[in-house]
Amino acid sequence: MAGKDYYNLLGISRSASEKDIKQAFRRLARKYHPDVNPGDKSAEDKFKQISEAYEVLSDKDKRQKYDKYGDKWQYADQFAEAERQQAQYGGFRPGGGGAFHFTGGDTGDLDSIFEEMFGGRGRTFQQRTRPRRGRDIESPVEVTLEEAYQGTSRTISLQLTEPCAACRGTGHIQNLPCSACRGSGAIPKVKRLEVKIPAGVANGSRVRIAGKGEPSYGGGPGGDLYLVISVRPHPDIERHGDNLHVDVPVPLAVAMLGGEAQVPTPKGKLALKIPPETQNGRVFRLTGQGMPHLGKSTRGDLLARVSVVLPTRLTDKEKELFRQLSEARPA
């Protein structure tokens, strides 16, 4: 028997009685039920597995099919028919690519156990575990600092799979593997999607696009698409969190006498007033001129550091003036 071992999941032998099966499930359900283990994903996964095992083994007909075909028991009738016709259809064998999806049948006895153990909460959990949700996927997106500052959009191509329409995701039509999907139950598909990237994203930001991931194979909601953002370095601006840092070249005369200097920002240049006798390395904080806080209306700050530019190629007159200054202000 390939695939899941339901007997092992419940900790019982293959000759276990109906009473043994129910007692084993009660014991494990009390241990792993999500209401007993809130927020524990591993316990929730274990609970789903033992519930699946109990639902099959507690039903006499399903158990007989499971004992013969393993976790492909749902296709027992197709397998039996295929075995009878295998000489005609090239030796088809059970388990040839059909995907198993636990949807359950009559869950009355299972729900009654949950109600006895946990009240109405047990039934609620069982109902919300079906159908299964589609798989989440990721797509890398690179943006410039200017795009991260303002927000932008991209058209991306996604490599997805969707349930085969011919066989409805089962991988089989009647007693034969589906030729459209070659028995896999899935069809590859390239999907083009325009996505919006909000202002304020940073390296490693994950932008969630709800419902745009892989479609569900059981009629449930699709998974989500996550855009994994990388921001291209800017030649003049450094980002630290949501604050921006820039070096502002200021001529010596402006630093000494006062004036204006141009400050680079992601939205263009700003004029910065330089007071007289500004020292090299002084930092001016421009409040609210930094990056947007992701998902908020506020922004970080821009910190402009003065880098005094000394003159070169002095004329004789300029040299004389510096000598006079040196004599007037000896070190």
In the chain, what are the domains?
Answer: 6-128 (1.10.287.110), 137-231 (2.60.260.20), 237-328 (2.60.260.20)
- Whether residue 278 is predicted with pLDDT greater than 60 in this model: the reply is yes
The predicted structure's pLDDT at residue 104: 40
- Whether residue 171 is predicted with pLDDT greater than 60 in this model: the reply is yes
The predicted structure's pLDDT at residue 114: 55
**Starting at the edge strand that comes first in sequence, how are the strands of the sheet with 206-209 ordered?**
137-143, 225-231, 206-209
Q: What is the pTM of this model?
A: 0.56
Q: Per-residue pLDDT tens for 27-72?
A: 998 888 887 888 888 888 888 888 888 888 998 888 988 888 787 7
Distances (CA, A) of 224 to 102, 196, 210, 215, 295: 22, 15, 5, 9, 19
The predicted structure's pLDDT at residue 92: 38
Least confident of 81-90, 168-177, 265-274: 81-90
Name the average pLDDT for the chain: 82
- Whether residue 93 is predicted with pLDDT greater than 60 in this model: the reply is no
The predicted structure's pLDDT at residue 241: 94
- Whether residue 311 is predicted with pLDDT greater than 90 in this model: the reply is yes
CB of 287 closer than 8 Å to CB of 307: no
The predicted structure's pLDDT at residue 69: 79
Q: Which of 260, 258, 263 is nearest to 245 (CA)?
A: 263
Question: In this structure, how many other beta carbons lie within 10 angstroms of the beta carbon of residue 320?
Answer: 11
Name the residue with higher pLDDT: 180 or 12. 12
Question: What mean pLDDT comes out for the span 264-279?
Answer: 95
Cα(196)–Cα(175) distance, integer angstroms = 46
Q: Per-residue pLDDT tens for 208-224?
A: 999 998 887 666 788 89
